Amino acid sequence: MQYKWRALIAVAFGTYMGTMDFSIVNVALPTLSEVFDRPPDTVVWVALIAALVATGLTMVAGRAGDLYGRKRLYLVGWVIFGVGLILASLANTIELLLAFRALQAVGVAMVVANGNAIVTEAFPDNERGRALGIVGSVVGAGLMTGPIVGGILLGIGDWRALFWMRVPIVFIALFLAVTLIREQRGDHVVRKLDIPGSVTMFAFLSLTLLAINRGQAWGWTSPTIVTLLVVGFVSLVAFIRIELRTESPVLSLALFRVRSFSVAVASLVISFLGQSATLFLVPFYLVQVRGYTTVQMGLILSTVPSMMLLLSSFSGQVADRYGFRYQTTLGIAIVATGMFSMTTLDAGTTAPWIMVRLALMGIGSAIFMSPNSSEVMGSVPRSMLGTASATLASGRNIGTSVGLAIAGAVLVTVASNSAGLTDVQN
């Protein structure tokens, strides 16, 4: 087997497991609330802290891969993730569980940040779209199947099974990475990681996303949220000043002067923002309005990743062969059509018609993601592939977090208005 396919197999496996980790514990939150006798507002941090740490560190991990070797960072990430899983399965307090979830997120950031870079380095430019399309479909599958796999593991054992039963998978991932991936290093001259830039970037991303995620729960004008937003903004200003002066920036701001890079990243963020907001609201409709079981809900929602799995590789091949200039635009247009069609759902809409609407979103995502990712990866020099790969992962996380915050605010507002209207009528 050619090296490019071996590398793709290893990265696809790791990407699936890494992205799935973001949502796999969500199904256990009610159980954890009972086990540790803590309110939901406390237990939700088991999921939230992983997302915050991973998002804050992904860019740093990508740049570190450029400087010190992408395979090396990839392997270290899996080791850290495995240790975090073992320790989490042994945690006897919620505080320890949170600490070990944060440790897992450090490993996930290192794995995910360098995955696309390894694949891009392995494939020739005329096959890059196809390869990244496959990785993109794996990302969608990982994010969507996390709750399903979590539910299965929770059914097999107690909440600790969510962690210790995945440890053998870590050994498989390490074996695949060691045997199938070659070492890659982009920057052979400058080998100094920008620590001040890394710290300020982490502070900006993690604090701002924390404020966005908890704003509805804590109150947008509460002192805590205002402080988080102010410190996040100050961190952003400090980060920009540092990056303009440092010899080896975490994120070269000159990249955003490259139109293909900046437009592709902005489109990615907006795409995930819209889709995550929509997909957050759909389960409430399916369960509370239509009365479907959680199993039926999961099957209906699987329409989106199924379309991505089926079409992403083909979409990448089309981008490689024909270089269709408006392929990403077409994809976003189909996604928007699917999202707009969701506004026509009512209490009588049948499951097949719901799935048709979701299928439009999945088809549009498949058409969009492959050429978009290829555009980002192809717009940077080889020495910055890790940075570009990390930018894709960070863009997904940022878009998803903002979309979920918006959807949550909308849901709470609608519920409050409905309750107020009911009170007036009574």
Q: What is the mean pLDDT of residues 318-345?
A: 88
pLDDT at position 235, please?
94
Q: What is the mean pLDDT of residues 341-370?
A: 91
> What are the structure tokens assigned to 163, written together?
């962690």
Per-chain mean pLDDT for the chain: 84
Is the predicted pLDDT of residue 421 greater than 50, yes or no?
no
**Does the reported pTM lie above 0.85?**
no
- pLDDT higher for 425 or 44? 44
